[in-house]
Amino acid sequence: MNRICYILGISLFISCASTSGELVENRSTGAALGTSYSLIYFAEDEVDYQIEIDSVFQAVNRSLSTYISDSDISKINKGDSTLVVDEMFEEVFMLSKNVFEKTNGYFDPTVGVLVNAWGFGPEEQMAMDSTAVDSLLHLVGFDKVAISEKGTVQKGHPDIYFDFNAVAKGYAIDRLAKMFDGKGIRNYLLEVGGELVAKGENQNKGKPWVVGIDDPEMETRRELKKTIYLKNRALASSGNYRKFRVDEKTGKRYVHTVDPKTGYTKSGNTLSATVLANTCAEADAFATAFMAMDLDESFKLLSQQRELDGYIVYIDEHGDTQEFMTEGFEELVVK
């Protein structure tokens, strides 16, 4: 299965029965990018955009999936320095560079070599100790890579391994949104693996879309922590509570968040991070970074980036569960 990303789940609240005489509800559901998707959109008539939807997913996979051996990113990871990247790769690369700089390096897609080594990527897992971590850290750093004027990827070391899994799924949703915009669709809720882009309103109810955010402390069942209104924005969440592996020999639990600063998996005080942004790729990237950053740094960054809103569930120094949310996020909470 070609898995692009793994992320905290988000439940949707949508009425299935249409009460509008003007617009018709259309739905497309299925599997793609190693997860499921649910697309709800309103049009003047019943329409079928499945061919276009499949085309978007296929294009993202061809460019960015590390689980496809002949994708562009896989070829680059194997050392192809002559491949001219496509528009998708370049857009994700530049967005990643921007978030890398804003998060002081805590969002870093070159951490892929460590993701693989810790057993969370498509390549072979390694026996990890301080020596192995130190050797692999030399291959990490988005400031060590660039796209040349010819459109080829330049790497400071041939073994640098790109992993855009923490942003590519959000980017795919953005591409779907662009496709629907181009067809004149003005009201939709697009969800892929729990990440969302919403535009307009739920025409069945004549109200904004309402979405629920999972409680990160519920490991075996789903329970909502918050419900919020979502309109003309994107949402992505990240959390370790369902994404971990247990070493068969030692019984030690390793979470999937890898700190690009230390090289180790990080199971810190942050239980989950939810981010609202103008694009789902941005929300995806920042939510991933907040799982690796210290809480104070996350709070500070959210207060500085006015285009973002966020909600973080964490454990305080007394072991109690606490919440942080920006003013903009709090205004969207369904009371």
For residue 154, pLDDT over 50 is answered with yes
For residue 134, pLDDT over 80 is answered with yes
- Kindly state whether residue 3 falls inside one of the protein's structural domains: no
Q: What is the H or E stretch that residue 13 is in?
A: strand 10-13
Total domains, the chain: 1
- Kindly state whether residue 4 falls inside one of the protein's structural domains: no
- Kindly state whether residue 172 falls inside one of the protein's structural domains: yes
Which tokens go with 239? 């959390």
Average pLDDT over residues 103-132: 84
With contact defined as beta carbons under 8 Å apart, do 73 and 65 qualify? yes
Rg of the Cα trace of the chain?
20
In angstroms, the CA 34 to CA 68 distance is: 12
CATH of the domain at 236: 3.10.520.10
pLDDT tens by residue, 61-71: 999 999 999 99
- Kindly state whether residue 30 falls inside one of the protein's structural domains: yes
Which tokens go with 248? 């068969």
In angstroms, the CA 313 to CA 292 distance is: 14
Query: Which pLDDT band, with edges at 50, 70 and 90, does 43 fall under?
Result: very high
For residue 16, pLDDT over 80 is answered with no
Average pLDDT over residues 98-107: 96
Domain residues for 140? Answer: 10-330
Q: Which of the pair, 243 or 240, is modelled with greater confidence? A: 240
- Kindly state whether residue 97 falls inside one of the protein's structural domains: yes
Packed helices 295-304 and 280-292: angle between N→C axes, nearest 10 degrees: 150
Q: Which of the pair, 117 or 245, is modelled with greater confidence? A: 117
Q: Which of the pair, 282 or 123, is modelled with greater confidence? A: 282
Question: C-alpha dihedral over 269, 291, 100, 98, to 10 degrees?
Answer: -120
Query: Which pLDDT band, with edges at 50, 70 and 90, does 148 fall under?
Result: very high
In angstroms, the CA 128 to CA 136 distance is: 10
Q: Half-sphere exposure of residue 134, counting CA atoms within 13 Å on the CB side?
A: 3
For residue 244, pLDDT over 70 is answered with no
Q: What pLDDT sits at residue 21?
A: 54
In angstroms, the CA 267 to CA 259 distance is: 10
Q: What pLDDT sits at residue 208?
A: 93
Average pLDDT over residues 183-199: 96
- Kindly state whether residue 2 falls inside one of the protein's structural domains: no
Query: Of 2-16, 22-36, 176-190, 216-230, which range is least confident?
Result: 2-16
